[in-house]
Amino acid sequence: MKTNYKKIFITGLAVITAITLIAPVLISAQTNNSGQGSKGFCSRISNISSTVDQKIADRETKLEEKRAEINNKIQERWNKRDDKLNGQHTKWDENRAEHFARLEEKAQTDAQKQAVATFKEIVNAAVAARRAAVDKAIEDFRQGVQEAIKTRKSNVDAAITTYRNSIKTAIQKAESDCASGVDPTTVRQNLRVDLKSAREKLVSDRQAVDKLSASLEPLIIAKREAIKKAIDDFKAAVEKARADLKAALGQ
């Protein structure tokens, strides 16, 4: 399960990486395909800008689709888990009722009947406590996962927005320089530097997002420990109740 949930935090990083390569590649293609080097660069900046915007928008659409797919898979996983657990509860309740019925048949004296009644009360209380503790552990885990997803989404979106704005600013500066009569070779070189800086910033932001996967580990451990404690407490309560019942029944 741990590996599957960690995939949540990896999704989108490949998309971000792809975005970091869009602008420089397009600018290189625009220049090389013209066969004129930097000479006609200024006339092609508007095309570069619109193409980059479309590429980033396409990548973001794919990212949102992937996010929706992952959220659906998580919900399906949780629904299946709930259905399975509910089915187990029903089966356990039926088995426990049959066991209580057999005990009541064996009880002959009033003292024995009272002992069985006490045993039933203690066991049912222990079952209720265990289920409540397990349900809380699961709910806490799920809330933690959702919060981690929300935090990661916010950070990824912020990284993409910062990158997009940096690209936009760099292209606008190049357009302004061209309009001001700056040599196209200098404009192109400056634009490449600005794009490299934007790309490096995005890589840095991506590394920070990668670290968020570690936030799942304490959630998994906390759930595991809470469930283990619920089971251990249940076993201890039932074992004592069983010992007291045996003593009361003379067995």
- For position 18, what pLDDT does the model report? 58
State the Cα–Cα distance between residues 112 and 159, nearest whole angstrom: 70
Query: Given this model, what pLDDT does residue 34 score?
Result: 46
Q: Which SS3 state, helix, strand or coil, does residue 251 take?
A: coil
User: Contact at 8 Å (CB) between 12 and 63?
Assistant: yes
pTM over 0.85: no
CA–CA separation, 91 and 75 (whole Å)? 24
Under the banding of pLDDT at 50, 70 and 90, the label for residue 215 is: confident
pLDDT for residue 14:
57
Q: 12-37 pLDDT, tens per residue?
A: 555 565 555 555 555 554 545 444 55
Q: How does pLDDT run across 52-89, given as a tens digit for each residue? A: 888 888 988 998 998 899 899 999 999 999 999 999 99
Which residue from 133, 126, 130 is spatially nearest to 244, judged by alpha carbons? 126
Give the whole-angstrom CA distance, residue 7 versus residue 30: 36
